[in-house]
Structure 1
Amino acid sequence: MSPSLAASVFEEPAVGRSTMPAGWQDFLALTKPRVMTLVVFTAICGLIAAPERIHPVLAFTAILCITIGAGGAAALNQWWEADLDAGMKRTAGRPVPQGRIGRTDARDFGMALSSASVFIMGFAIGWFAAAILAVSIFYYAVVYTMWLKPRTPQNIVIGGGAGAFPPLIGWVAATGNITLMPVVLFAIIFFWTPPHFWALALFVKSDYAKVGIPMMPVVAGETATRRQILGYAVLLLPLSMAPWWIGGTGAVYGIAAALLSLAFLALSARVGLRERTGPDDTMKPEKQLFAYSIIYLFALFAALVVDRMVA
Structure 2
Amino acid sequence: MSDFTANSDATPQEARFGDYFALLKPRVMSLVVFTAFVGLMVAPAGVPPVEAFTAILFIALGGGASGALNMWYDSDIDRVMKRTAGRPIPSGRVSGGEALSLGLWLSGISVVMLGLAANWFAAGFLAFTIFFYAVIYTMWLKRWTPQNIVIGGAAGAFPPMIGWAVATGGISIESVLMFALVFMWTPPHFWALALFMKSDYDEAKVPMLTVTHGRPHTRKMIFAYTILLAPVAIATGLTAIGGPVYMAAAVVLNVIFVKGGFDIWRRSEEQAVADDYKTEKKVFRFSLLYLFLHFGALLVQAGLGAYGLGGW
TM over 0.5: yes
Could you say what the CA RMSD is over the residues aligned between the two structures, in angstroms? 1.3
Aligned length: 304
Question: 27, 43, 64: which is aligned to 1:71?
Answer: 64
Counterpart in 2 of 1:236? 229
Listed as ranges, the matches of 1:82-231 within 5 Å are 82-231=75-224
Cα distance in structure 2, aligned partners of 1:234 and 1:280: 27
2:24–2:67 CA contact under 8 A, matched in 1: yes
The CA deviation at 1:280 is 5.1
Cα deviation, 1:109-139, whole Å, max 9, x if unaligned, reads: 1111111100000111111000000011111
1:305 equivalent among 299, 302, 305: 299
Structure 2 CA distance for aligned equivalents of residues 289 and 188 of structure 1: 17
From the superposition, tell whether residues 83 and 216 of structure 1 become closer, same or farther in structure 2 (CA, over 3 Å): same
Which amino acid in 2 is paired with 1:299? L
Q: From 23, 35, 40, give the equivalent of 1:42.
A: 35
Calculate percent identity across the aligned residue pairs. 49
After superposition, give the CA deviation of every residue in 1:131-186 in whole Å (9 maximum; x if it has no partner).
00001111111100000000100000000000001100000101111111000000
Moved over 4 A (4+): 278-281
Gaps spanning 5+ residues in structure 2: where?
Answer: 306-312
Counterpart contact for 1:181–1:248, Cα < 8 Å: yes
2:231 is equivalent to residue 271 of structure 1: no
Aligned residue in 1 for 2:50:
57
- 1:12 equivalent in alignment to 2:6: yes
- Tell me the TM-score normalised to structure 2 length: 0.95
Deviation at 1:279, TM superposition (A): 5.1
Structure 1 segments unaligned to the other structure (5+ residues): none
Shift of 1:21: 2.8
Distance 1:60 1:12 in 2: 39
Deviation of the 1:309 alpha carbon: 1.0
**Segment of structure 1 superposing worse, 19-28 or 211-220:** 19-28
State the shift of 1:281 in Å: 4.6
Aligned to 2:309: none
Contact 2:22 2:87 survives alignment (8 Å):
yes
Residue pair 2:7, 2:89 contacting (<8 A) in 1 also: no
Contact 1:69 1:117 in 2 (8 A): yes
Letter in 1 for 2:209: M
What CA distance in whole angstroms lies between the structure 1 residues aligned with 2:170 and 2:37?
Answer: 16
Match of 1:261 among 236, 254, 258: 254
CA drift of 1:70 comes to 0.4
- One-letter amino acid of the counterpart of residue 166, structure 2: A
Amino acid at match of 2:115: G
- Rounded to whole Å, the distance in 2 between the matches of 1:246 and 1:234 is 20
* Mapped contact 2:226–2:258 kept (Cα < 8 A): yes
For 2:283, the equivalent position in structure 1 comes to 289
C-alpha contact (below 8 Å) 1:12/1:104 kept by paired residues: no
Give the superposition deviation at 1:238: 1.2
